[in-house]
Amino acid sequence: MRKRALGAALVLATSVAQAQSPETLGWLRKMHQATQRLSYVGTFVYQNADRTETSRITRYAAEDIEKLEVMNGVPREIVRTRDKIRCYLPDSRVVKVDRRVDRDFPGLLPEQIAALGRHYDISLGETQRIAGLDCQTVVLQPKDNLRYGYRLYADLKSGMLMRADTVDAAGKSVETLMFTQFTPGNVTPDMVRPRHEGKKWRIEDTGAVPAHLVGWGLAAELPGFHKVTELKRRLGESRPVGQMVFSDGLAAVSVFIEPLESRPDRAATGLASMGAINIYTREVANHMITVVGEAPAVSVQRIADAVEFRRPTQ
Amino acid sequence: MKDRISVLMDGELDDRSAAQVIDALADWSQAGSQAGSEAAGEAREAWRTYHLISDALGKSRMLSEGFSERVAAALAAEPTVLAPRRLGGAREPRRWVALAAGVAAVSLVGWLGFAPREPVVQVAKAPAPVVPKEAKPALVALPSGTNDYLLAHQAFSPRMSLVGMAPYVRTVSEPAREARR
């Protein structure tokens, strides 16, 4: 029995080792470092089955500030600094402010990159040209149907991620983010300031704080998805909600819990989607549960169905 | 054929069969004015009737007079490119409640008919803007304030550290709804 277990462990270890060579993991690390290290101005296109949008992104690495401006449709601008995310909506004269509780939340750390091999087969593909740059393809193939796959294209020289495709089980792209133009360097602090001052605009501060949501949890966790954080925040103008975040290291799914009485309307139970994002809504114990994640519908629904409230004893 | 149209509207046809039925509808609409196309008329009538039924069930916006003809014309113009993409990969058959089937079908038709010209606007106006790929549960419109959920969620996506702020573009891509709130 013991022998067999050892054998199985060996087989598993070998297959994991094959799936993620040091070179492959090196590429993921290189991409991660490039997005942190580089200052740049770029134009990129977001595309899913329903829409295509062009945005400009500017990063000032010295102060870790990024600005994203959506170029078509209603003007919108998001500025992310070390501790805040501000979303400017000039048409409705609203600034949505979110504190970056995620700063304590590990991004994609080197040890996490190695751990990705548990749920994805990671391999190198061909070189491709994107936005005038030769790029290395890195393919993350999920080992089950509970997560999407990814095709990443990174600049051979800098390691900067130039294109990311999210693909479903059939291998079809559900969402693409791609730079069409990319200029590293020469970014000044002025270039990442918001275009709008936002004075006299309505400010919607989420007031997010880490919290323990007493009584709430999942009856069963989804394989590979572990709870990474739990907090309280406000949504929209003032609705209080709890949020639990589950992740497999690459994909994340949030569970929002809000008292029914604070909702302006009764949301319909069921599934909605937008590109790689699936949203499942249902009611549990007089609360509206909204599960949001860049994971296949089946995962989002399974997490939603597992949400339960257990009255604390005593 | 009527049965197959019904099954198509229920989303229970696999990609290939669905494509066949849609192709057939498209062909018939082209041949519609010619003689000897009784089957064509019948199929179109079925298509229209079933949608009226699903509209009534789904309490969705009434379709204007001649809608099916316009959709059929649009289908004829763009028959194969669009449909397979919306229907996703091979799936097991499923049974939706009538309401969901109606909503999904209407949104599929809306999408097929109008997507080439103005996809975003049309999708935003449709009663249920989305037909998810692996949809077994009831399909609903994006919840009100979807942006707020996305904004709150996006900060925790570990993928953030790979692609910088880019995913935030999703957060704000329903501007019209947000502005009107």
Question: pLDDT tens-digit profile of A179-215?
Answer: 999 999 989 999 999 988 888 999 988 888 888 999 9
What is the model's pLDDT at position A245?
93
The angle formed by the CA atoms of residues A67, A69 and A75, to the nearest 5 degrees, is 140
Residue A32 has its nearest CB partner, among B148, B157, B162, at B162
**Highest-confidence segment of A113-122, A139-148, B10-19, B37-46:** A139-148
Q: Who wins on pLDDT, B54 or B101?
A: B54
Question: Residue A203: which residues within 8 A CB-CB, separation 6 or more?
Answer: A94, A95, A97
| Mean pLDDT across B51-77 | 58
- CB contact (8 A) between residue A270 and residue B152: no
Taking contacts as CB-CB distances below 8 angstroms, the residues of chain A near B163 are 35, 161, 164, 177
The chain B residue lying nearest A248, using CA atoms, is B158
What is the model's pLDDT at position A159?
92
- B151 by Cβ neighbours in 10 Å (0-12 / 13-18 / 19+) ranks as buried
Correct CATH for A207-309 of 3.30.200.100, 3.40.50.150, 3.30.470.10, 3.40.50.720: 3.30.200.100
- CB contact (8 A) between residue A66 and residue B164: yes
Residue B51 — pLDDT band, cuts 50, 70, 90? low
- pLDDT tens per residue, range B75-91: 666 544 444 444 434 44
Domain positions in chain B are: 2-125, 146-180
- Side chain identity at residue A103, one-letter code: R
How close A92 gets to chain B, by Cα (Å)?
5
For the entire predicted model, the pTM comes to 0.66
Q: Is the pLDDT of residue B111 over 70?
A: no
Taking contacts as CB-CB distances below 8 angstroms, the residues of chain A near B144 are 264-265, 267
Q: Is the pLDDT of residue A26 over 60?
A: yes
ipTM: 0.84
Q: Is the pLDDT of residue A314 over 90?
A: no
Q: Which residues pair with A46 in a beta bridge?
A: A53, A177
How close B113 gets to chain A, by Cα (Å)?
13
- pLDDT tens per residue, range A127-163: 999 999 999 999 999 999 999 999 999 999 999 999 9
Residue A272 has its nearest CB partner, among B85, B120, B143, at B143
Residue B143 has its nearest CB partner, among A91, A168, A281, at A281
Taking contacts as CB-CB distances below 8 angstroms, the residues of chain A near B130 are 50, 272-274
| Mean pLDDT across B10-16 | 71
- pLDDT tens per residue, range A37-58: 899 999 989 888 878 889 999 9
For all residues of chain B together, what is the average pLDDT?
55
Task: Please tell me if residue A170 touches chain B, with a CB cutoff of 8 Å.
Answer: yes
The tokens 């696999």 sit on which residue? Answer: B14
- The CATH superfamily assigned to A15-192 is Lipoprotein localisation LolA/LolB/LppX (2.50.20.10)
- A245 by Cβ neighbours in 10 Å (0-12 / 13-18 / 19+) ranks as buried
Residue A301: HSE in the Cβ half-sphere, 13 Å Cα cutoff = 16
DSSP at A156: T
- CB contact (8 A) between residue B132 and residue A271: yes
How close B177 gets to chain A, by Cα (Å)?
10
Sheet with A76-80: list strands edge to edge.
A120-130, A133-142, A149-155, A161-167, A173-184, A40-48, A52-60, A65-70, A76-80, A84-89, A94-99, A202-205
- CB contact (8 A) between residue B134 and residue A297: yes
Domain positions in chain A are: 15-192, 207-309
What is the model's pLDDT at position A126?
94
Separation CA A297–CA A278 (nearest Å): 6
Task: Please tell me if residue A131 touches chain B, with a CB cutoff of 8 Å.
Answer: no
- pLDDT tens per residue, range A58-97: 999 999 899 999 888 778 898 988 888 898 988 889 898 8
Residue A78 has its nearest CB partner, among B143, B172, B174, at B172
Cβ contact B59:B106 at 8 Å: no
Task: Please tell me if residue B165 touches chain A, with a CB cutoff of 8 Å.
Answer: yes
Q: Is the pLDDT of residue A233 over 80?
A: yes
Separation CA A66–CA A59 (nearest Å): 4
Task: Please tell me if residue B125 touches chain A, with a CB cutoff of 8 Å.
Answer: no
Task: Please tell me if residue A247 touches chain B, with a CB cutoff of 8 Å.
Answer: yes
- CB contact (8 A) between residue B100 and residue A270: yes
